Structure 1
Amino acid sequence: MSRKTTSPSEFINIKGIEYFRFEEDFMEDNIRCIPMVVRFKMDACGIKLKLSEWSKFNATERVKLALMSIDNAEVTERYHQYLIALITKYTDNTATKLAIDPAPAWANVQQIPEMLLEKSAEIELNLSLEQWKKLTDIQRFALLKLCRPGHENKNFPKAAVEFGLLN
């Protein structure tokens, strides 16, 4: 999933977007993958976006998806509707809905998920609860996405370094 592209993503220097350097390596079939900030918002609004759908959106629409707020139920619903409209516009498909987790593991700052502790041990990272608490929501979300079973995990160590958890 990491074929280098010559041009940086449209997200790299935009204020207001929590975009990570390790994401510049996210390529699949020569298509830049969906950034964590958008994946985070998709989970929050209950829509699964396929890479083939994402690749049809123009840069302005992709940046808007990264910038739009999901701070409360009203704006999260707006995000949900906007994403559905884009999927319909470009694919004529019905958006794939996801169940929204009412208590996602990344939101629990009182306990580090076991799956993350196991993955951290593989790279000799002794993640403390204090470090876990200091991460942003999207950083915790990203670490959990990067350590899931069946996921290509080579960006996990890069994320740990970028987030100041590993030298």
Structure 2
Amino acid sequence: MGLHDTPLLFDFELVSSEDLTYMPMSVRFNLDRFGLRISLAQWQLLPHADRALLARFPVDEDARIEPNFDHALFEMMRTHANVEPEWFTPEQDPVWRGTAAVPEGVLNHSREVAGTAVTLERWAALDPFKRYVLTKLTRKPEASHDFVPAMREFGLMS
């Protein structure tokens, strides 16, 4: 699969990420998946066109995009921020990939903030990228302002 025609944004991201001031979940996904880290300040040093290009990369489990994403990100960061992304070792088996159990953070946040627990059946039916998003939005103890809108968008609550 090639690049998408437009940046990959969920509806709940439009307010905060439409102008790409903040990193969209698609970029966060690829950064996490490939073990790369950049700060928000570094992201904002990139020209809008470069940020839009990074947000067009697929979010499929396809290792063929890794070198392209890596090379593009490294070149952009060197050119516009005079730094390189930091490397880290990605999780071998992140909880969002699993469909045998709903991650504790997602369960807790859905009960507390959304008023309804995500069922295993509905969790397993989500595509991996949506499971990643919900897990990412619940990594901290306090609720993300995007969690309930994401739950609605993903059909997990009305």
Query: Shorter-chain TM-score: which interval?
Result: 0.7 to 0.9
Q: In structure 2, give the amino acid aligned to 1:131.
A: R
Structure 2 unaligned segments of length 5 or more: list them.
none
Q: % of aligned pairs identical?
A: 26
Question: May I ask how many residue pairs the two structures share in their alignment?
Answer: 152
Distance 1:47 1:18 in 2: 19
Q: Deviations over 1:13-69 (max 9, x none)?
A: x75654211112327xx9721000111011111111211121122233222212224
Of the three residues 126, 136, 153, the one matched with 1:145 is 136
Q: Indicate the SS of the match to 1:26.
A: helix
Distance 1:152 1:48, change over 3 A: farther
Task: Specify whether residues 104 and 154 from structure 1 end up closer, same or farther in structure 2 by C-alpha distance, changes over 3 A only.
Answer: same
Q: Give the Cα–Cα distance (whole angstroms) in 2 for the partners of residues 150 and 15 of structure 1.
A: 36
Name the CA distance, whole Å, in 1 between partners of 2:20 and 2:88: 23
Q: TM-score, normalised by structure 2?
A: 0.84
Q: Is the 8 A contact 2:35 2:89 kept in 1?
A: yes
What's 2:123 paired with?
132
CA offsets per residue over residues 109-131 of structure 1, 9 Å max, x none?
A: 12111111111110212211111
Cα–Cα, structure 1 residues 17 and 112, in superposed 2: closer, same or farther, change >3 Å? Answer: farther
Counterpart Cα distance in 2 of 1:62 and 1:31: 7
Alignment RMSD: 2.3
Give me the TM-score of the superposition, normalised by structure 1. 0.80
